[in-house]
Chains A and B, each alone.
Chain A
Amino acid sequence: MKELLPEETIISSELFREQMVMMVKSEHILKVCEIAKNDPELAFDFLSFVAGVDRYPSTPRFEIVYQLYSIKKNHRFRIKCRLEEPTEGLPRIDSVVAVWPTADWHERETAEMFGIVFNNHPDPRKLLLPDHWKVYPLRKDFPLEGSETETPDLPQ
């Protein structure tokens, strides 16, 4: 268990388990990540992954998880933030590519699989899915086999 002191951050809740997890409001994610990277005691210079979670019947529906690791200090940390699904359009969150450039591809994959828009992302293309699909496969209400109309083999 690594001792960790988040300073002057805007936290909504903090959970302790075997690993440190912190829940943050989604508007402040960029600032929190900047502090996590630049603070000399925290020094989280390695972003392991950015992942999305669809908690379909519960609200807020989506959750984005950032797993951080510090190479110098050898401690790990996880930041989560919850996103509501708006009534129209797609949920939006700030992109952390300015803090860790590796977030580029992770956010592209999360965006295309869940339908989450990352603001100020430098390259918001699809990463893995074919371009002619307009659906978000990793959402809980998407059937595993796909369908002929939504996930066709070839573009029509």
Chain B
Amino acid sequence: MGIENHLNNTVHVTNLEWFVNWARKSSMWPLGFGLACCALEMIATFVSRYDLSRFGMEVARPSPRHADLMIVSGTASKKMIPAVRRIYEQMAEPKWVIAMGACACTGGIYKNYAVVQGIDRHLPVDVYIPGCPPRPEALLDGILQLHAKVMKEQSIRRPRLTNVKAV
């Protein structure tokens, strides 16, 4: 490109929105909300064999205030829903949710009075990963799909100033 050659390739010129999206996807910190068996598969994805830190995600923050991505892994019972909602509301924008496993997607094999039939009844889910439990490769595939979704986001919207006074 023109200006980069002129500056001896020291400056990278890009679209600001692309840049912001790239920064968000490359350092998304997960809040591993492990509830049941899928949590073990999530842990297996964190360790060195299916390394998750190559995506910038090795800091799995226990506190929702520090996290961007909530991976709901496991069976959500109806008694747990107020806690899940409170933790989701404590996360700062921008935030994404992955529903990992059959129980988080639709209630799984538990169609009974005690299990929420899918946490998308209470949280806005971005990526659904089916499986019981999904293999670590499936979780990685879901995370890559989430990255693709983040890259397409319109994170910097043009502000429409409707009541600006001329100065």
By a beta-carbon cutoff of 8 Å, the part of chain A in contact with chain B is 128-130, 137, 142-147, 151-155
Contact = CB atoms under 8 A, between A and B. Distances in A.
Contacts of B149: none
Contacts of B79: 128-130
A145 B78 CA distance: 12
A153 B80 CA distance: 9
A54 to B, nearest CB: 15
Interface in B74-112: 78-79, 81-82, 111-112
| Chain B binding surface, main DSSP class | loop
B111 A130 contact: no
| Chain A binding surface, main DSSP class | loop
Nearest to A144: B112
Nearest to A154: B81
B160 interface: no
Contacts of B152: none
A151 B113 contact: yes
Determine which residue in B78, B113, B121 has the highest number of CB atoms from chain A within 10 A of its CB, and name it.
B113
B122 A153 contact: yes
A71 B113 CA distance: 38
Nearest to B79: A130
A155 B116 CA distance: 14
B1 interface: no
Contact of B82 (A129, A145, A154): A154
B113 A153 contact: no
Interface of B: 78-79, 81-82, 111-114, 116, 121-122
B104 to A, nearest CB: 14
A137 B113 contact: yes
Determine which residue in A144, A154, A155 has the highest number of CB atoms from chain B within 10 A of its CB, and name it.
A154
Determine which residue in A130, A143, A146, A153 has the highest number of CB atoms from chain B within 10 A of its CB, and name it.
A153
Query: Which 10 A-B pairs have CB atoms at the shortest separation, nearest pair first?
Result: A146-B113, A130-B79, A151-B113, A153-B78, A144-B112, A137-B113, A153-B81, A153-B116, A145-B111, A154-B81
25 contacts: A129-B79, A129-B114, A130-B78, A130-B79, A137-B113, A142-B113, A143-B113, A144-B111, A144-B112, A145-B111, A145-B113, A146-B112, A146-B113, A146-B114, A151-B78, A151-B113, A151-B114, A152-B78, A153-B78, A153-B81, A153-B116, A153-B121, A153-B122, A154-B78, A154-B81
Nearest to A143: B113
Contacts of B82: 154-155
Determine which residue in B81, B116, B122 has the highest number of CB atoms from chain A within 10 A of its CB, and name it.
B81
A151 B113 CA distance: 6
Contacts of A143: 113
Determine which residue in A129, A152, A155 has the highest number of CB atoms from chain B within 10 A of its CB, and name it.
A129
Given A128-B79, A144-B113, A146-B112, 5 more contacts: A145-B111, A147-B113, A151-B78, A152-B78, A155-B82
B20 to A, nearest CB: 35
A154 B122 CA distance: 10
